[in-house]
Structure formats: C-alpha cells, structure tokens
Structure 1
Amino acid sequence: MKNTIFLALSFLLLACSSNAQQRRFNPDTVLTVVIDSAVNIRSHRLNAQDFIDAVVADTGFYKAFRNMKRYGFTAENNIYTYDKNNKIDGEIYRKVKHTTIGGKHKTEYLVKQDKGNVYKKNGKYQLYTVEMFDYIFNNAYNSDFTHTDPLPGSEGKNGSYKDKLKTLIFSPGRKVTGIPFLSGKTEIFGNDMRQYYYYEFARGKYLDSIPVYRFKVIKKPSVSDNDVMIRELTTIFDMRTFKILGRYVDMKYNNFLFDFDVKMNIELLPYNGELLPAKISYQGNWNVPFHKEERASFLILQKDYHHN
C-alpha cells in the first residue's frame, strides 16, 4: 500500500541560483496571456461543452513534446529543492543544446551545475519529485515519446504509474484509475464532479499577437477542499484553429494518507506549422507516510528551435 501511494502520487513530480540560506523561489506559473475582455458566448456560438469536448479530445498538447525530435533547440533547466523551512537546500542548473545528426540525438551540456543536497550516495536524486521531472520532461527523445506510444489516457487500468502521470499532465479531466481515494476526483468533467465547478470564458492575446480563448474551470468557493483535487484548470485555445497552446493546473488535497499542493504551467510555441514546448514551470509540496516531505520548484525554458 505504501509503495502504491508513493508511486501513484509521483504525478506531483517535477521541478530555478542562490545559496542554501536563501528562501524559496517559486517560478511564475501564470500563463503568458493578456486578456482583452470577457467573451460574449452567444456571439461566438460557443458554450462550455464545446471547450470541454476540445480539452478531453485533444492530442496535440502531448504530441508537441514528440515534435521536438525533429528540431534542434536550447533548453535551460532550473530546479530547486527545499527543506522544511522552505530554505533552498539543493540546486540543479542545466543549459543543454539538443541536436539530431544522421537520425541520432545528441545532447551537449553547455552549463551543468549542482549545489547542495541533490544526490544520494548511490548517485540517484534525493527527491522522487526530481527523478520524475527528469523522466517526463527530459526523456522526449527516448521511447517514451515515440510516435508509436499510446496517447495519455488510452493505457487502461493496467497502465503504469508513469502512464497515469502523463495522463494527469497531458490529458486532465479524464478519470485515472489506480490512485487511492483520488481516481474519481480527476474526472472533473464527469457527472459526479461537474457540480463542484463553474466555468469562466475570456479572450485575449498570447505572445502579443495570437488571438486566443481562455477557458477556466474553477472550484466553486462553497465547495469543500476535500471534495475536489483539481482546484483550477485553465486552458488556452488558439482562436483561429482551436488548438491548445497553454495549460495551467492547480491541484491540492489533504487527508490522513497524503498532503499535496501543486501548481504547474505548460506553454507551447507555434513554429514551422507545429506546436513545440516553450515553458514548463512547477511549484509544489507533497507528503506521504514513511517518506520525507518533498518540496521543489522548477522552470524549463526551451528556445531557438531550428532544423538540424
């Protein structure tokens, strides 16, 4: 049971420089969208179900990470871990140049710095949070993101915990079985969960030029925190194509088995007719029995995409 809970909550994974005496740095998890005005739903002939259907059916958000295989780019990874007083006790900074030559991927570390309490004696990361960050966002070139892999949410109840994790990140709103006491709470668009949320629409500009819709699913103020796991899910749609360009999720839950509070933002960048990851930020704490409480934040920026 202990291992099940620990692995199941690995979705609280993930991951900015300073010394160990500095206080916590939480990266900006606010989507880069400037809102112009509230949307008149009737004039746009859109309703909540249109947005819900698009969120649930979307595959492009996950495929954007697969698309990286075809391009060279530079990534900056900043990861901080914290002690119980929210003082920084570990830092990881990587500036990485990715290229593909002759069909083979090459990773060149332009800068590689570690400070503080980062690794165990066996060379593994101190925190499972950081290990899972590495798996999800630094493995885009291995088999976990090949074109033959099933999309998140299609693995069924026997899928691995890593599959469940990918579903929570890339296909939110679906039911994820196998997470004790929480599986039903992930299906926020289901009949049982819709009563706890209200919807908010707006329109604006993304990256100063792309017209977008912003669709927010927000927990009603009157609803108890223990009735829901996802407090907010915000999705940014390209107004011209209805493709998803950004996603923000705020998850929080506390009971006798575990306690977590996580915020994460992922933004995509249109390039060469495709969508590619541009920014991933995370801040969060989580705690399960018999394991050290984990506190971490991270900021990943990917830029300078080009053909190899």
Structure 2
Amino acid sequence: MKKSLVLILFLTSFVNVFGQEIPRFNPDTIKTIQLDSAVNITSERLSVETFIRAVTTDTSFYQAFRNMKKYSFVAENSIYTYDKKNKVSGRLYRKVKRNNTAPWLEYLVKQDTGKLFKKNGKYNLYTVEMFDYIFMNAYQSSYSSESAVGKSDGAIAGYKDKLKTLIFSPGRPVKGLPFIGSKTEIFTANMRQYYDYSFFSGTYLDSISVYRFKVTVKPDLSNWTKDGLMIKELTTIFDKRNFEILGRYVDMKYSNMLFDFNVQMNIEMGYFGEEKLPAKVSYQGNWNVPMKKPEKASVLVLQREYRLGKGK
C-alpha cells in the first residue's frame, strides 16, 4: 500500500510538471535591488564614463568564478527543456557536493526525466550539453593562480570561450561568430547613439549598498534599427565599497538568415566570509538554426555552503 501511494504521488507530480507550462527561470538581479533616487549619487561625481570604464576593465567578476575552485561547496543545477507549445519536455537535475581536493564530486541527487537524450546517449539539445559541460567541468577541476593559456579544444569548449567573453568582457567583439561578433561592441562611439545609459543607487540582497548601471536600447528608434541591435539590455551591479561587480544581467535577441535567438542570462555573486563567489546563475533562451531542431531551455544554478576544508 505504501509503495502504491509513493508511485501515485510520483506520477501525479510527473503529470503536473510535464502536462503544464511552468514559469521560466527568470533572471532577476534587478528584482533583488531596492533602488533609491538617482539624485543620491549626483554629488559623488560619478558619470556614465565612470561606469563604462568599470564594466570594460573589471576582472574581479570572472576571478570570482576561478576562486570558487578553492572551495568545497554544494551546487544545485536544474535544466528544463520545452516543446513548441512551451510545455516542459525534459528536466535534468543535479545536486552535487564538490570537494576542493580529489575526488572532486559526490552526487547527492541525479535525476533525468523526459526527452533529454538521443538514441546514441548524447544530449538531445545543444543548450543542455553546453551548460552541463561548463559547470561539471568547473566542479571537477582544481584552482590555479595562473590564467588558462591557449585555445580550448572542441566545439563546446570553443563556444564556452565565446560565452565567457560576452558575459565577463561585455563591449568587446566576440571572435568566431559570423555576422554578430561586432554587435557586442555597445560602448563604441558608433554604437552609443543607439543606447540609453542610466545609473542608480540601491540596496542589493537587502544589505549591500550598490550602484546599478543599466544600458538599454533607445525606445524611439525605428523597428528596423532595433532589430539590428543584438544586445537589448546590459545591467551591471557594483558594490559601492570597492566598485567590484556583484551581478550582471544581459538580454540578447537577434535574427538573420542563419539563425535567430532570444536569450536572457543573469549572474549573482554573494559574499562568503570576505570572499566574493558565485551564488546564482539563471538562463532562459530560444534558439532556431536551419536544418536543426529549435531549442527552448531554462537553467538555474545555485551554489552555497562554501568552505575551505574538504566537504563532509
């Protein structure tokens, strides 16, 4: 009787997830900030140029991801895939405990449901393969004080490098992406005419005083001009105390003869002791490439319980 009840509960939850449309993991750094008036920071002699320089020269944001490899921590990775009607078609869930000494990982929970894999055992969607590759590789590698040298091998690794440039070095061209590589250069003299730049004072995660620097497409542009701009919004959160980046949100949408996509991604940092480390990554995106199956997916990564000793 007990086993039957458990089975019924499982099937009920399965039907609820796969029979309905669920909210995507909406990137929400902006929602975690309570904004003050823009007047509050006028006297501090900050300008748009101040924030642009900080965005384009900061290295602490990427360094936080490298520094996490010093630590043991618990991570939860959830990836949902969707069909043409935005119904959930598959779910991948991993809860792992990373140790900062080998063996690196202990799987606490590992679940795969729905249509995630091809007959050959590979992931059905490229998005799922890429995110699983990025985070599982990071969790199973050691910290090094030296920056990686040379080019990454393989298609997935190559796209990881392009994503890294886009997220951690916004405003720079992304090499190797035909027709759109230069569309990321939103701070050049030519591109600035298409964007509005604003900055506000606020409170991040209810306790940290921050600045929010927001770059958005000007609303009065023609639809044709807007369609030609790939980055629709770039928002960056700065810690007032040291002007280091605590969060970033990017909204991208573009379409041409080769592909079209609509992607939002958000990264949030948190302080664990005195160290700034990744706390949350969320993504939602639709991709459509000729001759390939359209991809719709959302991703949520949560990392917590950082400690320098080996995880217990």
- TM-score bracket for this pair, using the shorter chain length: 0.7 to 0.9
- Residue of structure 2 equivalent to 1:72: 72
Higher helix proportion (structure 1 or 2):
2
Q: Which structure 2 residues correspond to residues 62-141 of structure 1 after superposition, within 5 A?
A: 62-100=62-100, 103-141=101-139
Equivalent residues of 1:225, 1:253 under 8 A apart:
no
Say if 1:20 and 1:88, in contact at 8 Å, map to a contact too.
yes
Cα drift, residue 36 of structure 1: 2.3
> What residue number does 2:163 align with?
165
Residue 268 of structure 2 aligns with which residue?
A: 267
Is residue 68–residue 140 contact of structure 1 (8 Å, CA) maintained in 2? no
Higher relative strand content? 1
- Structure 2 counterpart of 1:49, which letter? E
Contact residue 210 and residue 238 of structure 2 kept, 8 A:
yes
Shift of 1:144: 9.7
Letter in structure 1 aligned against 2:82: Y
User: Which stretch of structure 1 is more off in the superposition, 32-41 or 91-100?
Assistant: 32-41
Q: Which amino acid aligns with 1:196?
A: Y
What is residue 203 of structure 2 aligned with on the other side?
Answer: 205
Aligned length: 285
1:290 and 2:291 are equivalent in the alignment: yes
Q: Name the CA distance, whole Å, in 2 between partners of 1:307 and 1:139.
A: 20
Secondary structure at 2:68 match in 1: helix
Q: Which shows bigger deviation, 219-228 or 258-267?
A: 219-228
Distance in 2 of aligned mates of 1:151 and 1:273? 29
Q: What is the CA-CA distance between 1:258 and the residue it aligns to?
A: 1.1
CA distance in 2 between counterparts of 1:162 and 1:50 reads: 29
> Within 2, Cα distance between the matches of 1:95 and 1:141?
12
Q: Which residue of 1 aligns with 2:60?
A: 60
Which has the higher mean CA deviation after the structures are superposed, 227-236 or 103-112?
103-112
**1:225 and 1:145 mapped to 2: Cα distance?**
42
| 1:33/1:204 contact within 8 Å kept | yes
Normalised to the residue count of structure 1, the TM-score between the two structures is 0.87
**Aligned partners of 1:132, 1:207: CA distance in 2, in Å?**
29
Are the equivalent residues in 2 in contact too, given 1:39–1:201 (CA < 8 A)? no
Partner of 2:236: 235
- Between 1:42-51 and 1:223-232, the stretch displaced more is 223-232
- Unaligned ranges ≥5, structure 1: 1-16, 153-158
Q: Deviations over 1:234-259 (max 9, x none)?
A: 00000010000000000001122211
Instruction: Give 1:75 deviation, angstroms.
Output: 0.9
Counterpart pick for 2:191 among 187, 190, 193: 193
Would the aligned equivalents of 1:97 and 1:110 in 2 still touch at CA under 8 Å?
A: yes
Which deviates further from its counterpart, 161-170 or 64-73?
161-170
Deviation at 1:37, TM superposition (A): 2.2
Q: Cα gap change, 1:35/1:138 in structure 2, threshold over 3 Å: closer, same or farther?
A: farther
Structure 1 105/48 Cα, relative in aligned 2: closer, same or farther at 3 Å?
Answer: farther
Question: Could you say which residue in structure 2 is the equivalent of 1:8?
Answer: none
Q: Is the contact between residue 69 and residue 143 of structure 2 (CA under 8 Å) also seen in structure 1?
A: no
Closer/same/farther in 2, CA of residues 246 and 221 from structure 1, 3 Å limit: same
CA RMSD of aligned residues (A): 2.2
Q: Counterpart of 2:256?
A: 255
| TM norm structure 2 | 0.85
1:19 offset after TM fit, Å?
3.0
In the alignment, the residues of structure 1 paired with residue 217 and residue 226 of structure 2 have an alpha-carbon distance, to the nearest angstrom, of 9
Match of 2:3 in 1: none
Given that 1:118 and 1:126 are in contact with CA atoms closer than 8 Å, whether structure 2 keeps it comes out as yes
2:282 is aligned with 1:281: yes
1:217 to 208, 215, 218: 215
Q: Distance in 1 between matches of 2:103 and 2:64?
A: 17
Q: Is the 8 A contact 1:77 1:95 kept in 2?
A: yes
